[in-house]
Structure 1
Amino acid sequence: MSTTVTYLFDPLCGWCYGASPVVQKLGQQSAFTLELAPTGLFAGGGRTMDADFAAYAWSNDLRIAKLTGQRFTEAYRQNVLGRHGSRFDSATATLALAAVALTEPARELETLKVLQEARYVQGLDTCDTTVVGQLLRDQGLTDAAHRLAAADAELLAANAARIGQAQALMRTFGVQGVPALVVTDAHGRRLLRGNALYGDVDQLLGDIAGAWASQ
């Protein structure tokens, strides 16, 4: 049986952005298949940015930057966290990833990185459909951009199915937050918690391969 590594994440999760360098390396491996599983953790709910939430997010971001070396720029702090009253909702970015999965699935992981860096480095509002659509077009993902703008029934159903499957995995393993990995292989399924994505890549690859004792 081949090995599949399912990556539980949300495109607005700062810790998931912190894990991005390791996740990108996982996507380059030929020994297993990396499957993206957006959880919808920050999709919907009507949350908006305010001073308290912005301060909480920035303090978290500083911790992530210190641990991982990932950049959280002043442009992000001013134009995203500083836009009080703007939406904090990953629904658009999550739907965009579903559109890429339907049109050019091999580029979904790359697109996640583009969306994350657009927010945390460029300071763009990736909760905005127009902004996300332009990011897709800039990457040559024209079909995905069209699908996102139209949001047809097939795309909405695919997106809902992906989120449902991810949330079912979270319930199965008692996962409360993201990022996290679920490894499926000949030995069954096991959870690797998010902190595995901030350590030694070779050790993580060994764990995925079963060289370390599974949980």
Structure 2
Amino acid sequence: MTKVHYFFDPLCGWCFGASPLIDHLVQRDDIQLNLHPGGLFDSRELSPETRQHFLESDQKIHSMSGVEFGAAYQAKMRDADSVVLDSMLPIRAILAAAQSGYSATEMLKRIQLAHYQQGKTVHSVEALNSLAADMGIPADTWNEIFAQTDVQPEIASTTSLMMKQHLRGYPSMTVEIDGQWISVPVQSYFGNLKAWETFWNQLSR
């Protein structure tokens, strides 16, 4: 198994752009994917200028990666009286999914789709409970583990690892080869799944 470390934030548009690449890694049986969530947003209200900047970045991400930013999301970013982004509860949901015995990457994907396509407020407990139910996580298990999950140690670990590996920004990725963590230029493969697959096939030989 090839160990891969993925550094991300669930509300990072460029990480959403990387989602087809992450899907490919999840489907492989020769890759062990380790998630390292960061905390970009802590209940941050976006100014109109920031919202416009994000929408412009989203267009670039779409052109490079092919991921679709939904009409509901775009309307919310353009027209809502207030837009608040908070990574903390979505990260807690991702960690809680794994601790419940389910897929952390699946929860990440559902959070990204709910935010970037459906325009949902994914830092609401109700929205995250609904995503957990859709994944088939029993409500009693989910409620107990979600309530007890602490995101801060994980975020601190992510920050420490990124500093140690000289990684800047999300998404970042490293692969362990002969005891060394080698950086993988994720964004270079946006929109080119064939080259991405070839890269990992050659690495796994």
- Name the TM-score class by shorter chain: 0.7 to 0.9
Aligned length: 201
Shift of the alpha carbon at 1:103?
0.5
Q: Secondary structure at the match of 1:25?
A: helix
Find the counterpart in structure 2 of residue 37 from structure 1: 36
Q: Secondary structure at the match of 2:115?
A: helix
| Structure 2: tracts of 5 or more residues without a match | none
| Partner Cα distance (2:66, 2:136) in 1 | 29
Selected match of 1:169 from 161, 179, 183: 161
| Superposition map of 1:1-215 within 5 A | 2-40=1-39, 42-44=40-42, 46-80=43-77, 82-105=79-102, 107-143=103-139, 145-147=142-144, 151-152=147-148, 155-156=149-150, 159-198=151-190, 199=192, 200-206=195-201, 208-209=203-204
| Partner Cα distance (2:138, 2:34) in 1 | 23
| Partner Cα distance (1:5, 1:109) in 2 | 13
Residue identity opposite 1:136 in structure 2: A
| Partner Cα distance (1:140, 1:84) in 2 | 34
Cα 1:81–1:167 change in 2 (3 A) is farther
| Partner Cα distance (1:103, 1:79) in 2 | 32
| Structure 1: tracts of 5 or more residues without a match | none
CA RMSD of aligned residues (A): 2.1
Runs (4 or more) in structure 1 with deviation over 3 Å come to 142-145, 206-209
Alignment deviations for residues 52-91 of structure 1 (CA, whole Å, 9 cap, x no partner) = 1110110000001111111111110123553343321111
Q: Secondary structure at the match of 1:5?
A: strand
Alignment deviations for residues 75-113 of structure 1 (CA, whole Å, 9 cap, x no partner) = 1012355334332111110010011011024x1111111
